[in-house]
Structure 1
């Protein structure tokens, strides 16, 4: 069962509910955020909240996507209260690419990436939480959250513009500070891998980019094995494609361990805040020496998550001028 935010044919924001092949509008519901808030207060699951509202007319989801009327599956009324964050080196196989990017001249010396990965293998799935903390990074707030079909803009100072196909957990913090997971969505954790490769300490800079997620919010637990394909299209033709996997069967951490190490910080348990937390990947076109170009379309597809997530790449037209700070 999935939740989707759309603009209906009259121009109004609505929430739709998909169960199997049928998608219908949720009655008297304009946003996923409001629906989730009501569910938390009522002590309901999202499925129960939808059932209480009732379903209305059927939606042609494919047509809505083609017409640009499908939105990200959740937003916050104040974008500053939506947090885009993520974890890295969490997937089996993810260390190989990262290790090659940060390898020293001494092949016997482990990079920090490989050390972090091995820590996850050893202690990321503990019998009792918490386990070892993962690599963690910040991407931005809701102003950097890009909806399905919208352009991912690479800044003028960027050295690379590469996709990262991932699964994201979607969360809303309840009135008492308890994180509530609404479900999971496809995500493109857009990054600058050339900047990161220069020095591992540039990782934070490389991650301060927009990210896209959706189109559908998959309710319930994440399957143990998730399998899909990541593609890049140029002028309508696929120039690169590769399968990717996720889910705990393919990870060195439990989802619960990643969630604990994010939400253990009180700053991330502010009532009403939304979190889109990306869980990492092991598949990058950058690892296959693909150089993306303006107009390329990133495409991430997993059958269990419904509609594919597509976003074109846009490059900033000019270099960013030096930012001058004014003294008051």
Structure 2
């Protein structure tokens, strides 16, 4: 598998190939913000993208853990924030009582728009939630990354993995109206962009740590073979909407999650650390839950005459 990542080091943007090993130097390639975007749009496959990013670039060696090194979500345009976090709900076979028929007509799954790309968080960064959530739920998911060219045509860049933390308690209390509120929790992604077709098989294990010890553990599956819907149908449908085809826009499409802590009756609490070990791909995504502060009274304003 070809893997690319982007980062900031000493205030400059770089790209790297592969996943850095802890404590060992890793080569970074100096890139302007649009270099990876342009390489994806130009096409040619993973090798062409890697060559466009690395050939002739200024390099520097950095060790993971360097305080001046900060990883970025794949293709995130930091200067314009021209990126959206999107997602699908109810996509897994584990949430249906039957398998789809081979000739079954495609019915789009529920969709949500979660926020701007700048709202994404990286591994080991806290995920902020509302001050008093009803019942938090981690959701290990595949995230597909698309970037639109200057004509608004989406180009598939690759995939990574995310945790779509949300308040499923709000969703269950009023699924027809309160789901958008339930999604107002921060989302984390791994910075590693796998320059391959969307994965068919993704398996791993979630551990929720409380006070430094495991409090809940469970397996998950989130590859294409675990979904009720075909990935091609889902992406083609949502990316047909003009607002998601604006020139230069980066779309992060979360494909939905398997059953998890909530379905086992476990409640995630403030301060818990969620560790998502995507064992099939050698990737770990860990974040601590941090409930936000209650809004001050003067921030809730009403119009006055």
Asked whether the two chains share a fold, i.e. TM above 0.5, the reply is yes
The aligned residue for residue 294 of structure 2 is: 318
Higher strand share: 2
SS in 2 for 1:239: strand
> Which runs of structure 2 are paired with 1:57-96 in the superposition (5 Å)?
60-61=63-64, 63=65, 69-78=70-79, 80-95=81-96
Shift of 1:279: 0.4
- Further displaced range: 188-197 or 142-151: 142-151
Return the match for 1:137 from 93, 109, 112: 112
Return the match for 1:200 from 175, 180, 194: 175
Inter-CA distance 190–157: structure 2 relative to 1 (3 Å threshold): same
* Residue-pair matches, total: 297
> Which runs of structure 2 are paired with 1:136-285 in the superposition (5 Å)?
136-201=111-176, 202-285=178-261
Separation in 2, partners of 1:228, 1:264: 32
Inter-CA distance 271–279: structure 2 relative to 1 (3 Å threshold): same
- Further displaced range: 182-191 or 246-255: 246-255
C-alpha contact 1:217 1:305 (8 A) present in aligned 2: no
Separation in 1, partners of 2:304, 2:80: 28
- Further displaced range: 201-210 or 268-277: 201-210
Inter-CA distance 2–281: structure 2 relative to 1 (3 Å threshold): same
Separation in 2, partners of 1:23, 1:249: 37
Inter-CA distance 275–41: structure 2 relative to 1 (3 Å threshold): closer
1:223-279 CA distance string (max 9 Å, x none): 321111112112221111111112222111111111012101111000101111100
Return the match for 1:27 from 29, 32, 56: 29
Separation in 2, partners of 1:307, 1:136: 26
C-alpha contact 2:129 2:184 (8 A) present in aligned 1: no
Separation in 2, partners of 1:155, 1:311: 16
The Cα RMSD (Å) is 2.9
C-alpha contact 1:35 1:49 (8 A) present in aligned 2: no
SS in 2 for 1:318: coil
Separation in 1, partners of 2:29, 2:118: 28
1:265-307 CA distance string (max 9 Å, x none): 1110001011111001112211122222222111112134443
TM-score between the two structures when normalised by the length of structure 2: 0.85
The aligned residue for residue 4 of structure 2 is: 3
Shift of 1:178: 1.2
Gaps of 5+ in 2: none
Shift of 1:184: 0.8
Moved over 6 A (4+): 19-23
Shift of 1:136: 0.9
Shift of 1:152: 0.7
C-alpha contact 1:94 1:281 (8 A) present in aligned 2: no
Inter-CA distance 234–67: structure 2 relative to 1 (3 Å threshold): farther
C-alpha contact 2:43 2:49 (8 A) present in aligned 1: no
The aligned residue for residue 303 of structure 1 is: 279
- Further displaced range: 240-249 or 138-147: 138-147
Shift of 1:35: 2.4
SS in 2 for 1:181: strand
Higher helix share: 1
SS in 1 for 2:39: helix
Inter-CA distance 188–253: structure 2 relative to 1 (3 Å threshold): same
Gaps of 5+ in 1: 96-113
